Structures are given as C-alpha cells and as structure tokens.
Structure 1
C-alpha cells in the first residue's frame, strides 16, 4: 500500500526501577541504540518490583525522570505499561506483548551484568529467552553505596551458561544505590548531582526534594 510504513525490525526493551535514572543508564541506552542498530528502544520503569525489598519512588516521579533522562534520544519511547499493571510486573509478560506489537521483529532485552548473573531467578526466565536476545553491558563487582569510588573490577561472566551478546562500553562505576546514598548524605564528598545523573534529572530531583532521607 502506498505510503505504508516499513515494519520495525529491531526493537529493544530496557527495563529497570530507574530510581533514579543515572548516567550509566543513559550510556547503556546510547550503546544499545548504536550497537544493536535498534529501530526503537522501549524504556520501561518497573511497576511492582517483586524482587526488591525496598519501596520504590512513586511511578509518576520515575516516569518523569526517565522522560528527562532518555527523551531526547532518537527512537526511544518511554513506556509506562509496567507501572499500570496490577500486582507484580514480569519481563516475560512485557516481552510477550512487544512480540505481538512488533510481529516479525527481533527483540533485544538490555540489561547489566548483575542482572545477567541473577537471570535464572527471574519468573519464567525461559520465556524471556524464547522472546528476546539478551544484550549485556558489564558492570563493576560492587554497585552499592561505595560504587562512586570506582575501585571495583568488572564482573566475571565466564561461567554464564545462557546465550547473550555483549555491549561494548566503558565500565560504569555508578549505581542508583550510590546516587541515593549521595543524596541522602551518605556520600557527602562525592561528585555533584549533575555529574551522576543527566542535568534535567538533577533539576527534577532538586525541584521535588527527592531522596532526602535514606531509602
């Protein structure tokens, strides 16, 4: 049919708490778009995080920060669907929906090395593999509050026995845990906020006085 759009052939899913989205998240999205030659990348803030013991910041704040962190990147869509589901939100369900929305497309799940090591604890992880190729960026072995010190070596993935492709990017000594600790005063000597997170995210955090107490 004249004027019909070409179907999207390579689609990525980048999920996470994004509590808050930080510089390493942005770098990972940029690497995925370029190296996987994605036609579209869905950035999906987590809804009810079944695997996290702490309470996440309300979804509307995390969505707003994602819009500021990733919204200017080409071919990115901030996708709130997981925050709108009732009950726990599972990656397998989202990938099933995306496979229906993009028939015939090759799907990629973007994740960090720490998530890859825990992958077999995910609900219906076999279904995830049936829908998508795992695209993995390595991370330091320590991503807690001390991550900003930048002293931890990269994670050893040599024992992983599931298929994945590597995303080539510099090791990012940054984590949301470290950023929250910095904002709560647990790392007062650390870098300024606008170095840790995109500038528009830093402004949003300051405007709404987020992360002022330890989480």
Structure 2
C-alpha cells in the first residue's frame, strides 16, 4: 500500500517552486511518491496558455531526475472541466490499495469551502496545505506542511518570457523546451 500525495495545478509553466513543494511534502508528510497532476481545464482559472501536452512534457522535463516524483495525466482522460472530487474518485477506483493526500497552497486553504463537491471530497481525502508566510490556515482539518518562501510564479515567468528577459526559477531544461516549441511568445 503506497502513500501518494497529489499535487494538482496548471503548471503553466512548471518551475523550481513546484519542485520545492514536492520536496517539502516528501520530507514532512513521509509519503512514498508525489504525483504532479496537471489540470486539463481548470474550473476556477483562465485556460492555460500552453496546451495540456506541452505542460505534461515540461513537467516530465522538470522531474526527469526525481525518483519519487511522477506525472499523472488522469485529468486529460475525462477532458472538459477538471473537478477534484471526480479525479479523486477515479484514482481511488483505479488504485484501491493506495492512500491519497491532496496538496494545496496555503493561500487555497480558506478557499476550500467554495470547491465543487467539497463535503464529499473531504470525506474521500486528506488535504495537506503548504504553509507560506502570510498563510492563515483557519481550517484545522487541513494538515499543514511548512515550506521556505520561494519567490517564483508561473505568471511572473510568462511575463519575463514575453519581455525576452531571463526568467527566475525556471530550470534550463524547461526553458530549452519552451524555446524549442515557441511557447509563451518566446
């Protein structure tokens, strides 16, 4: 029986901050693996700038030397809007002997009551919030992981790429992929 932490996101593009979250979860939660789970079509955000296939390829590039971190494309199989409750049910059906945790940023903890199907979701899975400076963690049902502050975001990386400047927090391998495929107006 494996203990697996699911870390969902748009990953548009993936960066070192995402890896830092994975390492904090592996160290503090003591799970066997972290699965990066890119959303196919996030219900609460603008559509991703890069296609699902490009985001998956960039994630594979990001984690190619990480033994305990893998990428799952489960959300692309259903297509349409990606609701976490449906994904969790699907994963539990496919892997009935594994235990799953769902990793969210500390900024999302207070937003959880607005998630689609949250009461059912809470009965299915343990949420793990990654605490950053300023995270309030009012919801005591969310397990807390502490992490160093990493000042990098996908939004700032896309802006830096559009301005033709060297992006902060983007591994060279991911930057090379972006340039090769002319993503983000690069």
TM-score normalised per structure 2: 0.90
Structure 2 SS opposite 1:15: strand
Q: Which moved more, 1:169-178 or 1:33-42?
A: 33-42
Match of 1:13 among 6, 14, 38: 6
Alpha-carbon spacing, 1:50–1:169, altered in 2? closer, same or farther (3 Å): same
Please state how far the C-alpha of 1:185 moved relative to its aligned partner: 1.4
Q: In 1, are the aligned partners of 2:12 and 2:48 still within 8 Å (CA)?
A: no
Matching residue of 1:150: none
**2:160 is the counterpart of 1:182:** yes
CA distance in 1 between partners of 2:58 and 2:97 (Å): 32
Q: In 2, are the aligned partners of 1:17 and 1:56 still within 8 Å (CA)?
A: no
Number of residue pairs the alignment of both structures matches:
186
**2:162 is the counterpart of 1:210:** no
Structure 2 SS opposite 1:44: strand
| Stretches of structure 1 lacking an aligned partner (at least 5 in a row) | 1-6, 140-153
**2:146 is the counterpart of 1:168:** yes
Structure 2 SS opposite 1:92: helix
Matching residue of 1:112: 105
Match of 1:47 among 40, 45, 52: 40
| Stretches of structure 2 lacking an aligned partner (at least 5 in a row) | none
Matching residue of 1:23: 16
**Runs of 4 or more consecutive aligned structure 1 residues displaced over 3 Å after TM superposition:** none
Matching residue of 2:50: 57
Q: CA RMSD in A?
A: 2.0
Please state how far the C-alpha of 1:84 moved relative to its aligned partner: 2.7
Matching residue of 2:135: 156
Please state how far the C-alpha of 1:198 moved relative to its aligned partner: 2.1
Matching residue of 1:127: 120
